[in-house]
Amino acid sequence: MLGRGRLRRWLVRLPRVRAAVAAIRRAATAIGTFGEELRFLFDAARLMRGTDLLLLTGSGVLSDHFGGAMNCPWTIFRWVVLARMAGARVAILSAGAGPLDSPLSRFLIQRSLRLAWYRSYRDETSARVIDALGVPGRATIVPDLAYSLEFPRPPARQPDCRPLVGINAFPHNPRYWPLADDRVYRRYVRALAIFAGWLLDNKYRVYFFPTQLRADPPVIADVKAILVTDSREGLAEELVDRPTGDVPQLLDTLAETDVVVATRFHAIALALAVPAPVLAISNHHKMSDLMKAAGQGRYLLDVETVTAEALIERFTLLEFNADAIRGELRHHIAGYRRALEQQYDLVLAPSGGDTQETCR
């Protein structure tokens, strides 16, 4: 006689039994997921009762490269539908769009936007992505909401204080960024490490800062590991240690920074808003659009081809033109703030206005 445990193990080895067990597990998972979704929809519908206006904001929310159609596209669609069922208006503010590779993603985003009363996009490329979906109405371009933040005044600089350079590193690797190549990531990290070593050798102060607190610190650790290995003894210990655990800390640090080298969208945007000269490393159209819109396209490198030599050459040019760049940025940022204030006044007006009402 086989014991119960041995019998179970023997049965599981049989192909048909194994397939049946796998099917039962998948069904159980699907039933559990369906139940969770029903509970969410019920709770969200109850939350929307009495709501007059639902604001949807974010960075690249009109896209599907993270998690496919069932991530951002489905999340946006269900909130929009629930809001409209509750009689609320929907406004989508300064959203980034693309890529939208899945037909289901394109359908969900298109229907969501058609149901929205007001919608604006943060750059021209995003507007073109949405236009390609056949969404009616004129695309409104309004800068990213981050430009509305108020920055602290920089502290008085000591006469003998060396320039401070902030470096923002991005996890451009397949573990995080779906469009990445591991070889490109290794080359990118090495380029940042060599560049940071050059800055330290030339008497700049350097600090690395994240804008995504889970994904960015491991990249910073990778850069520092190369810096420790390749540089002279003790060089890595000269890095400035600044806390950036929340937005106020990040803004305080950026306000003290002379030059920023950044890859993430909001690291670039917030540095421009300081205003600080920015050398941007682009891995998506949104970074390129951001820099070009601010008149800073010449200080833009591509993550796929960036080298330490290119970083040093472009940084040298950036620093030489720093005073003129700050003047240009003040002009652009003032215009951005005005555009955002006008958007807030329109969307939050008590009457709600009738802008884009025909676009439903």
**Residue 137 and residue 223 in one domain:** no
Does some domain include residue 38? no
- Check whether residue 72 and residue 184 sit in a common domain: no
pLDDT of the residue at 357: 39
pLDDT digits (tens, 9 = 90+) for 48-97: 899 999 999 877 889 988 888 888 999 999 999 999 999 999 999 999 99
Residue 62 located in a structural domain = yes
CA nearest to 166, candidates 303, 310, 247, 280: 280
Question: Is the pLDDT reported for residue 359 higher than 50?
Answer: no
Same domain, 80 and 196: no
For residues 25-34, give the mean pLDDT. Answer: 56
Q: Looking at the structure, do residues 281 and 175 belong to the same domain, yes or no?
A: yes
This prediction's pTM: 0.84
Q: For residues 206 and 190, state if they share a domain.
A: yes
- The pLDDT, as a whole number, for residue 85 is 92
Report the 10 Å Cβ neighbour count for 207. 18
**Rounded distance between C-alpha atoms, residue 137 and residue 115, angstroms:** 12
- pLDDT computed for residue 358 by the predictor: 32
125 token code pair: 């490329």
Number of domains, the chain: 2
Pair (206, 288) in one structural domain:
yes
pLDDT of residue 247: 87
CATH number at residue 243: 3.40.50.2000
Residue 276 CA to residue 325 CA, distance in Å, equals 8
My answer on whether 117 and 160 are in the same domain is: no
Domain hosting residue 113, numbered range: 51-142+333-360
**Residues 202 and 315 occupy one common structural domain:** yes
Instruction: State the Cα–Cα distance between residues 257 and 16, nearest whole angstrom.
Output: 65
206 residue type, one letter: V
Strand partners, 119: 92
Classify residue 181: in a domain, yes or no.
yes
Report the run of H or E that residue 301 belongs to, with start and end.
strand 300-302
Residues 135 and 192 in one domain: no
The answer to whether residue 12 is domain-embedded is no
Whole-number Å distance between alpha carbons of 110 and 104: 10
Same domain as 300, residue 164: yes
Residues 66 and 114 in one domain: yes
The verdict on 280 and 208 lying in the same domain is yes
Q: What is the pLDDT of residue 179?
A: 66
Q: Is residue 34 part of a domain?
A: no
Q: What tens digit of pLDDT does each residue of 218-246 get?
A: 999 999 999 888 776 677 678 888 878 88
